[in-house]
Chains A and B, each alone.
Chain A
Amino acid sequence: GAGVSQTPSNKVTEKGKYVELRCDPISGHTALYWYRQSLGQGPEFLIYFQGTGAADDSGLPNDRFFAVRPEGSVSTLKIQRTERGDSAVYLCASSSQGQGAEAFFGQGTRLTVV
């Protein structure tokens, strides 16, 4: 498809389990972003990739969160030892080069930790 694709759309997991969330950006977009959105809040920045490298991971809340983008396209957000407080919608976005380029968002993955 032409847009940013995120899978799964919904994920329910038990507290303490490991989860992986996948993002397939728009073809040719070098910049990729992960955000987290809680109910009634604006998206909160987690990590930004430029190509294969994480250019800014200052938004990751703790070392249970990790993300990769090994070939500069698809990215995976990994959460270890999930906690109930991790429940949120995880949004992925991509953009072309340039500080003024708008980011295009996927539909998000709704993560529920029970």
Chain B
Amino acid sequence: AQSVAQPEDQVNVAEGNPLTVKCTYSVSGNPYLFWYVQYPNRGLQFLLKYITGDNLVKGSYGFEAEFNKSQTSFHLKKPSALVSDSALYFCAVRPPSGSARQLTFGSGTQLTVLP
């Protein structure tokens, strides 16, 4: 069975500074990895995904994530944080094949960007 760990419940960063939200995963084979963002009282919004190819993937709102197979990690990054980036971020994994299509989510990381 697949699993995702987000080791930090809360990340605080000053506006303009780079941000990193950590994610590690466990799955058999090469995974499909996703990041979603959730604003208060809203559904989840897709940010980016890794399927195959370049380990650095770029997504919406200037976010990017780096896939590291040896460390089984998929950390979310942004070079310069904005106050409006403050939200709850979820990493998710889906196995590469088979009947299991559902995403397995981490517990989430609350990002707060301080002005």
Taking Cβ atoms with an 8 Å cutoff, the residues of A that contact B are 4, 31, 33, 35, 40-45, 48, 50, 55-56, 59, 91, 93, 99-100, 102-108
A26 vs chain B, min Cβ distance (A): 12
Asked whether, in the complex, the Cβ of A102 is within 8 Å of the Cβ of B49, the reply is yes
Selected contact of A105 from candidates B43, B49, B96, B101, CB within 8 Å: B43
Asked whether, in the complex, the Cβ of B107 is within 8 Å of the Cβ of A41, the reply is yes
B8 vs chain A, min Cβ distance (A): 14
Q: A48-B101, A103-B103 are in contact. Are A41 and B49 (CB under 8 A)?
A: no
Taking Cβ atoms with an 8 Å cutoff, the residues of B that contact A are 4, 32, 34, 36, 42-46, 49, 51, 90, 94-97, 99-108
B38 vs chain A, min Cβ distance (A): 9
Residue of A nearest to B32 (CB): A100
Selected contact of A108 from candidates B43, B90, B107, CB within 8 Å: B43
Asked whether, in the complex, the Cβ of B102 is within 8 Å of the Cβ of A102, the reply is no
A108 vs chain B, min Cβ distance (A): 5
Asked whether, in the complex, the Cβ of B49 is within 8 Å of the Cβ of A100, the reply is yes
Residue of B nearest to A44 (CB): B105
Q: B104 to chain A: which residues have CB within 8 Å?
A: 45
Q: A55 to chain B: which residues have CB within 8 Å?
A: 99, 101
B98 vs chain A, min Cβ distance (A): 9
Roughly how many angstroms separate A42 CA and B89 CA in the complex, as a whole number?
Answer: 9
Selected contact of B90 from candidates A31, A42, A99, CB within 8 Å: A42
Residue of A nearest to B51 (CB): A100
14 contacts between A and B (CB under 8 A): A42-B90, A43-B90, A43-B105, A44-B105, A45-B103, A55-B101, A56-B102, A59-B102, A93-B44, A99-B32, A100-B49, A105-B36, A105-B45, A106-B43
